[in-house]
Amino acid sequence: MSLLVVGLSHRSAPVSVLERASLVGDEQAKLVQDTLAAEPATEAAVLATCNRIELYADVDKFHAGVAELSTLLAQHTGVGLDELTPYLYVHYEDRAVHHLFSVACGLDSMVVGEGQILGQIKDALALGQELHTAGRLLNDLFQQALRVGKRAHSETGIDRAGQSLVTFGLEQLAQGAPVAEWARGKRALVIGAGSMSSLAAATLARAGVAELVIANRTLERALRLAESLAEQHAATPAAVSAMGEETLRGSLVARAVPRDRVSAELPHADIVVSCTGATGLVLTAAELRTALAQRAACPPGAHPAAADVSLLDLAMPRDIDAAAHRVEGLHLVDIESLAEAAAEPSGEPGSSAGAMATDVDKVRAIVSEEVAAFGAAQRAAHITPTVVALRTMAADVVASEIARLDGRLPDLDDKQRAEITQTVRRVVDKLLHAPTVRVKQLASTPGGAGYADALRELFDLDPQAVAAVSRADGSARTAGPNDPKGGRA
């Protein structure tokens, strides 16, 4: 195993750099394909979220791999290599495994313990499988990371600390008040209908907002989300208006509008959440000032009276102009302010803080245990093709000798020939059993990779035969999730 990860995250880079380095559109697919085409890499996968970009690869040369992966990240993010390099981190082999498992458990998240990262890891694996850039190593690694993350959440109380960015962001907007109490009865506008925006809409619906408007470039997608939330909150559908909007009425009023209707909805919104894949600003400071002026001109009762309009920007690069921080009447929370808030000590010593620290320690112990198990399994798997090639060679020797015996003793009947054949096979199997079992045990220990080489030398095994077994094993492991050979994440 020569696993290498090169990346940057909120821990290593300022938000201004992360914002510029984000991958948009099909850039993730292009990045992993170009990585696989590069000489040092035989497998590749990319984990890209709003606060991290990490490129994973199986490489045959460490220094060449680091140089190539760093260059590829610079090329595909559009940030110059000289500017990007100071913010990159590098992990290799067991340290790379430890890093991904920690990420999967939420230990490396902006909000410790958040569980949304598991879905993002699953997406990274699915992309690698779809493009056939994830081979045996990365398939095993990412599937194990998913299992480790689920184990951490099921066996510890890390979920107590594991708020999603959405929940954390809304708590920052609420400024100490319970989110449900703060949001109840307000009108909310959610821009975007992707996974993060959908989570924000669902959270606001549960918190008790009176009206929820979903604005998206594709109206059908926004409509599906609005219908789903309305159904969950006992809403009933109303007629489609002449403007092409779908209104759903009940305990929650949910509406779907096209993105170009955002400016018309802004004056009526008390809460705005935006998370799109746009490369430019979705809301400028000038547009927000105009909306505030229109809001002030609304007749009494036209919208709930709220002191400020609360803005939550979860996009990377940002959707909402950072200048909104300086506009009176607006309260903006974005990725940068969330990072600052997450870095601050809680100021709440006592049992809850102690319990969270205990949960984090438990998760760290799980990660260490799983890293050791993964390394042992990979080392054992490394010798399997050699053992298979050895047994294949032994079977060929038995077949050759039985054929030779047929020439010398042509009068043997079928029963005699079968008995002799079975006896020879048992002798060979017994001779090979103990050394092959023992060599697998030794290979699973640290430094055990050399036992495969020793076995090949001792028995003069054909390297091509060993490679053929490895390729067959790799083909079975890299089958996609819909392939009968493949595994589910």
Q: Is the dihedral of CA 275, 280, 282, 285 positive or negative?
A: positive
Query: d(Cα 80, Cα 488) in Å, to the nearest integer?
Result: 38
Q: What is the dihedral of CA 380, 381, 386, 388, to 10 degrees?
A: 110
What does the pLDDT look like over 120-154, one tens digit per residue?
Answer: 999 999 999 999 999 989 999 999 999 999 999 99
Q: Is it the case that residue 473 has pLDDT exceeding 80?
A: no
Mean pLDDT of 62-71: 95
Which residue, among 48, 55, 71, has the nearest Cα to 5 in the 3D structure? 55
What does the pLDDT look like over 348-400, one tens digit per residue?
Answer: 444 455 667 888 899 999 999 999 999 888 877 777 777 787 788 888 888 88
Q: What is the pLDDT of residue 483?
A: 44
Which residue, among 393, 386, 375, has the nearest Cα to 1 in the 3D structure? 375
Query: d(Cα 6, Cα 67) in Å, to the nearest integer?
Result: 10
Give the confidence band of 448 by pLDDT, cuts at 50, 70, 90: low
Query: d(Cα 274, Cα 32) in Å, to the nearest integer?
Result: 28
pLDDT above 70 coverage of the chain, percent: 84
Q: Tell me the pTM.
A: 0.70
Give the confidence band of 57 by pLDDT, cuts at 50, 70, 90: very high
Q: What's the whole-number average pLDDT of the chain?
A: 84
Report whether the peptide linkage leading into residue 304 is cis, meaning its omega lies within 30 degrees of zero: no
Query: d(Cα 138, Cα 129) in Å, to the nearest integer?
Result: 10
pLDDT above 90 coverage of the chain, percent: 48
Q: What is the pLDDT of residue 486?
A: 38
Phi, psi of 184 (to 5 degrees): -60, 125
Instruction: Yes or no: say if 273 and 197 are a contact pair by the CB < 8 Å rule.
Output: yes
Q: What is the pLDDT of residue 187?
A: 94
Which residue has tokens 């083909």? 475
Q: What is the pLDDT of residue 74?
A: 96
What does the pLDDT look like over 240-297, one tens digit per residue?
Answer: 333 344 444 447 889 999 999 999 999 999 999 999 888 789 999 999 999 999 888 7
Query: d(Cα 237, Cα 321) in Å, to the nearest integer?
Result: 35
Which residue has tokens 């984000």? 22
Higher pLDDT, 481 or 455: 455
Dihedral-angle region of residue 86 (phi above 0 means left; psi in -120 to 50 means alpha; beta otherwise): alpha
Which whole-number Å values give the CA distances from 122 to 81, 112, 143, in the listed order?
29, 19, 8
Higher pLDDT, 447 or 96: 96
Phi, psi of 297 (to 5 degrees): -85, -10
Reading the block at residue 264, the tokens are 């018309």
Q: What is the pLDDT of residue 472?
A: 53
Instruction: Yes or no: say if 309 and 267 are a contact pair by the CB < 8 Å rule.
Output: no
Alpha helices in 409-477 (DSSP H): 414-443, 450-458, 463-477
Tell how strand 211-216 and strand 187-191 pair up. Answer: parallel
Query: d(Cα 425, Cα 418) in Å, to the nearest integer?
Result: 11
Give the confidence band of 468 by pLDDT, cuts at 50, 70, 90: low
Active site positions, annotated: 50
Tell how strand 330-334 and strand 309-313 pair up. Answer: parallel
